[in-house]
Amino acid sequence: MTERWQRELTKLRQAPELPADLWDRVRSGSREPDEGISRRDRTAVIAVALVVAIAGLAVAWAIAQPFHRTEVPGGLGLVDMPPVGHAAPANLADGRPVFVVDHPDGSVEVVDAFSTHVPYGIGKLIAWCSTSGLFDDVYHGSKWSEDGTYLMGPAATGLATYTSTIEPDGRLMVESMIPPQLRPDPRAKVHPRGPYCTSAEGLVYPTIAGAVSSDPAAVVASAPDGWVALRGSVVAGGPTGAQLCATGEGAGGNCLDGAPVEGIDPALFQEYPRLTVPGAVIIRPPQTYIARVQEGALHGLTRVPTPAYPPVVP
């Protein structure tokens, strides 16, 4: 036996005797009080961490969203900006026609394209006269300034406008409608930029979303959302007292492919009949309209002006 082994054996003989319950202590762990984090504190820390993580993800999503979205929840739609000093037609997310005006002073206005003169319950879209810088009702002569203020004609009020904000990509997010203002008293003075539009030349017409259907009945049966475009004749009859028919002259005067129209004043058929045939009164030749489908009928029927400058008719 070497000298080193003798020294180690001597140390072992001199070591104190181990406790009899040593291995029980090892298996049961330490009996000292726990000085670490309590279960309640650990839960609170985890909750705070989750809240911070979720907030961070939300911020990242909001920052990235403007670069690829087409519509913000609660907004009415994104529209393009026209050149400074010009107005351009646009459509909101539901297809509603509007005009976007970029004023010479750099301010921007979104103006509703619906005339506030609605004789007999049939609406009309307006047009922008690029020479005068005014909005025109080409059917009945009302005029409004570039910010929608009433100027002249039979319209009851100014035009509705919309709140909007400029997006990072340069487009406008249209947010909410501002009701039209009443006629100013005294009447606002007209300050056109140039000559009035007396023909189709110089007029900028509203745009309509989607294709124009010549089958009103099929459109109503499909119950689409938003504004739809249709072509037909307004005819007396049907469950609501008026119909939009693909034709009212063929097949012995029957309304073909017709759909009921809500909100038409019956006086229209008494004062302006153009042609009486068995079972129907034709008010005017087929025209293009926009409307919304609700509960199996057309609502808000509105005439769409065309580049063929229309005559003054009801």
Assess whether 200 and 262 both reside in one domain.
no
> Rounded to the nearest 5 degrees, what angle is found at the Cα of 309, between the Cα atoms of 308 and 313?
115
Q: Tell me the residue range of the domain where 53 lies.
A: 41-65
Calculated CA dihedral for residues 191, 195, 199, 205, nearest 10 degrees: -50
Q: Which long-range contacts (CB under 8 A, 24 or more apart) does 101-105 make?
A: 101/146, 101/147, 103/146, 103/147
- Please say which residue of 186, 204, 222 terminates a domain: 204
Assess whether 198 and 231 both reside in one domain.
no
Q: Which long-range contacts (CB under 8 A, 24 or more apart) does 272-277 make?
A: 272/314, 275/249, 277/248, 277/249, 277/252, 277/253
36 assigned to some structural domain = no
Assess whether 239 and 195 both reside in one domain.
no
Assess whether 198 and 85 both reside in one domain.
yes
Assess whether 125 and 176 both reside in one domain.
yes
- Please say which residue of 184, 204, 224 terminates a domain: 204
* Residue 278 pLDDT: 53
**Spans of the chain below 70 pLDDT:** 1-74, 247-254, 272-284, 308-314
- Please say which residue of 154, 176, 204 terminates a domain: 204
18 assigned to some structural domain = no
* Residue 189 pLDDT: 82
33 assigned to some structural domain = no
275 assigned to some structural domain = yes
> What are 248-294's pLDDT values in tens digits?
544 445 678 889 999 999 888 877 665 555 555 666 678 999 999 99
Residue pair 150/184 in contact by the 8 Å Cβ criterion: yes
Assess whether 85 and 48 both reside in one domain.
no
26 assigned to some structural domain = no
Interior/surface letters 101-128, b for 16+ CB within 10 angstroms, e for the rest: bbeeeeeebbbbbbbbbbbbbbbbbbbb
266 assigned to some structural domain = yes
Assess whether 216 and 249 both reside in one domain.
yes
Assess whether 232 and 287 both reside in one domain.
yes
Assess whether 222 and 199 both reside in one domain.
no
- From the CB of residue 34, how many other CB atoms can be counted at a distance below 10 Å? 7
Residues with Cβ within 8 Å of 124's Cβ and at least 6 positions away in sequence, in order, are 114, 115, 117, 118, 137, 139, 140, 302, 303, 305
**Residue 259 in tokens:** 């759909």
Assess whether 184 and 221 both reside in one domain.
no
Best CA proximity match to 219, nearest among 244, 254, 249: 244
* Residue 53 pLDDT: 55
Q: Model-level pTM greater than 0.85?
A: no
For the chain, how many structural domains are there in total?
Answer: 3
Assess whether 106 and 169 both reside in one domain.
yes
Assess whether 170 and 260 both reside in one domain.
no
d(CA 238, CA 243): 6
Domain holding 134: CATH number? 2.102.10.10
83 assigned to some structural domain = yes
19 assigned to some structural domain = no
